[in-house]
Amino acid sequence: MSIEVELKLWLTEAMSPSLLSRIQQSWQQLAVKVELAEPAQLLNAYFETPDQWFRRHDSGLRSRLKKGRFEQTIKLAGQQQGAAHIRPEYNVPCDSVVPKLSAFPLQIWPEGTDVDVLQQQLQEMFRTDFIRHSALLTLADGTVLEAVLDQGEVVAGNSSQPILEMELELVSGDARQLFQLARLLCQQLPLTLGFQSKAERGYLLAQQQVLSWQQSGPEQPLSTQLRAFLQNLWLQQQSQALPAELAASFTARLQQQWLDLQQTLAQHVLAQQVLAEQALTQQQALVAATAQQSVQLKALLVEAKALAAAPGTGMTLWLLDLSELLLQLPAESAAHNNQHKKEQQ
């Protein structure tokens, strides 16, 4: 098993030889060592059961053909904080496009799962086929990251959508360097935060569903609000042709979500102050970490008040900072819920 820790960034300009050159130059400028790989074609088939067993268990199953060899992968339930995705995954070789579930470790299956029955029910649901440009980047502190640029399409039946995205994945070292590199890349290249995996896009396409407005409110965890805001921010960026009346309504709703996000962030500042006081009776390291998180939350709240609820590099960098901070607050949902309950009492 490996734990996948990655950031997903979407390109906001059409692909061209000059843009590819700019991307690779940025990789080389920001790392002390760069190992560029030859471009590779990756053909991926995603499988499901008629009752969507894998989707219901927040898992994804695929096979991949690369350089004449098949590999099967299952990704298990993990967490998403903005553009950051963390999931355990298992990769094993396979003989054909259809995965063999018995090749995965037995302990990954929920108790009572009949793997043989699942195997019989497998059917291909959609594909993601793309050309991958990749490089191993060694940063100044020794952290090693894999940077990839994928260009291709998601295909389900007769429907398709383009893929044009960059992924940064931690190979070894400090996960904070993922975010630092992403910040620098976002200032040099036409990038925005990606909130959907290729698999999530494939499921929507296979079910003939379109990406639509995601409702959220201050009663929800900050991570949930962040995911909704990212999606709606992207929709606004893609809806420049909307009639004026609809565009104004969309902008107003997005502004309200932005205010709700700030309100919840303010609640987290208060919650962290309480935690810092409680930590005084515990280890000194915990006191320092909690105090630092409180300072970072306050700084983000101050910065948010100066930002408009609209796409742009400033907003992208702010959301990236929040994504990183949320990964340091594993109990953020509980902290928010406790604070919300207190306000209701």
Distance CA 72, CA 95 (A): 9
Contact yes or no for 135/23 (Cβ under 8 A): no
Q: Distances from the Cα of 107 to the Cαs of 1, 5, 110, 287, in angstroms?
A: 11, 22, 8, 37
pLDDT at residue 249, rounded to an integer: 81
Distance CA 68, CA 269 (A): 52
pLDDT at residue 289, rounded to an integer: 60
pLDDT at residue 138, rounded to an integer: 97
Distance CA 13, CA 15 (A): 6
Distance CA 4, CA 197 (A): 13
Q: Is the pTM of this model over 0.95?
A: no
Contact yes or no for 169/146 (Cβ under 8 A): yes
pLDDT tens-digit series, residues 212-241: 899 999 999 888 999 999 999 998 887 766
pLDDT at residue 341, rounded to an integer: 37
Q: Distances from the Cα of 144 to the Cαs of 6, 41, 89, 113, in angstroms?
A: 12, 23, 19, 37
Residue ranges in the chain modelled with pLDDT below 70:
1, 240-242, 272-291, 329-345
DSSP per-residue string spanning 247-278: HHHHHHHHHHHHHHHHHHHHHHHHHHHHHHHH
Architecture of domain 2-206 in CATH?
Answer: Beta Barrel (2.40)
DSSP annotation of 141: T
